[in-house]
Amino acid sequence: MSIPTIAFDADDTLWHNETLFAVTSQQIGALLAPYADPENLHRRLVETERRNLRLFGYGVKGFTLSMIESAIEVSEGRVSAREIQEILEAGKKLLAHPIELLPQVRESLESLAKTYNLMMITKGDLFHQESRIAMSGLADLFTAVEIVSEKNSDTYRKILRRYHLDAQDFVMVGNSVKSDILPVLEVSGRAIHIPYEITWELEVAELGDPDPSRCRRLQSIGQVAEVLKEFFQP
């Protein structure tokens, strides 16, 4: 029998991420208050990020560039060089922010690695994600790490082929229904959804009522082991 492969998302599944973006957005919203109210600025930022994804991809760098573009738009070009510099500095702080693992992550992965092949599949800027993975101290627990530009069914099919994995022996664990759950179910894999406290608007999707033999929603990573036993029971 083949050993099942359990893949984990990184941001907001293994460590905190979206809360950092939320705090930074609030700070920049206060900075740009003379030009736009926070709600309008946030709406413009999300629209700009959606438009720029195909150019900048995911991650802090794309967020920072989209925030600068939004600042220019809402201020009608009146935003100052000093204010743009402050946005850039906020982006640099995000890039350099230390990793804070979510509860039970390290002990859960260490235990699971004794029974399963563990893989990390994350999307975003290659350089920044590599840096965060190194800072997390978790890299040695994974037999493979994939940093991808997008998580869709084609991406997962390619990963399954690359590692010669059977979809029936593959489970994806993540916080995003759009990126970690639905496309994996589409390729006949299994999935475990662990919601994070904040969901980025561009990752919002409905899970519906999935087959419990293929998909579960849990409260913490510490519950994953029991569900895997049920998925792979003889």
Q: Same domain, yes or no, for 112 and 226?
A: yes
Range of the domain at 10: 5-15+100-231
pLDDT of residue 2: 81
Asked if 113 and 141 touch (Cβ cutoff 8 Å), the reply is yes
Q: Are residues 25 and 82 in the same domain?
A: yes
Provide the pLDDT confidence category of residue 133 given band limits of 50, 70 and 90: very high
* 61, 125 Cβ separation under 8 angstroms: yes
pLDDT at 215: 97
Q: What are phi and psi of 37, to 5 degrees?
A: -70, 155
pLDDT at 139 over 60: yes
pLDDT digits (tens, 9 = 90+) for 24-55: 999 999 999 999 998 899 999 999 999 999 99
Per DSSP, 11 falls in state B
Q: What pairs with residue 121 in β-bridges?
A: 146
Could you tell me whether strands 190-193 and 170-174 are parallel, antiparallel, or unpaired per DSSP bridges? parallel
pLDDT band at residue 188 using 50, 70 and 90 as cut-offs: very high
Closest CA to 123 of 3, 2, 34, 7: 7
Compute the mean pLDDT over every residue in the chain, rounded to the nearest whole number. Answer: 95
Residue 1 — pLDDT band, cuts 50, 70, 90? Answer: low
Binning the chain into helix, strand and coil, the percentages to the nearest 5 are 55, 15, 35
Q: Which CATH number characterizes residue 80's domain?
A: 1.10.150.240
Domain count, the chain: 2
Give alpha helix (H) positions in 34-168: 38-56, 60-74, 81-96, 105-112, 126-136, 153-162
Pair 226, 130 in one domain: yes
Q: How confident is the model at residue 56 (pLDDT cuts 50, 70, 90)?
A: very high
* pTM, full prediction: 0.94
Q: For residues 79 and 141, state if they share a domain.
A: no
Domain match, 110 and 142 both:
yes
Please tell me the predicted confidence (pLDDT) of residue 233.
84
- Residues 129-156, mean pLDDT to the nearest whole number: 96
Does one domain contain both 168 and 78? no
Q: Which pLDDT value is given to residue 9?
A: 98
94 closest CA partner among 50, 53, 56, 64: 64
What is the distance between the alpha carbons of residues 152 and 41, in angstroms, rounded to a whole number? Answer: 29
CA 119-124-125 angle, 5° bins: 115
What separation in angstroms does the CA of 55 have from each of 5, 50, 58, 71, 216? 32, 10, 9, 18, 34
Let me know whether 56 and 133 are in one domain.
no
Model confidence at 209, pLDDT cuts 50, 70, 90, reads confident
Residue 234 has pLDDT above 80, yes or no: no
Cα separation, 207 vs 176, in Å, equals 10
Q: What average pLDDT does range 54-72 have in this prediction?
A: 95
Residue 196 has pLDDT above 70, yes or no: yes
Give the per-residue SS3 of 6-35.
EEECCECCCECCHHHHHHHHHHHHHHCCCC
- What is the per-residue pLDDT across 103-125, written as a single tens digit (0 to 9) for each? 999 999 999 999 999 999 999 99
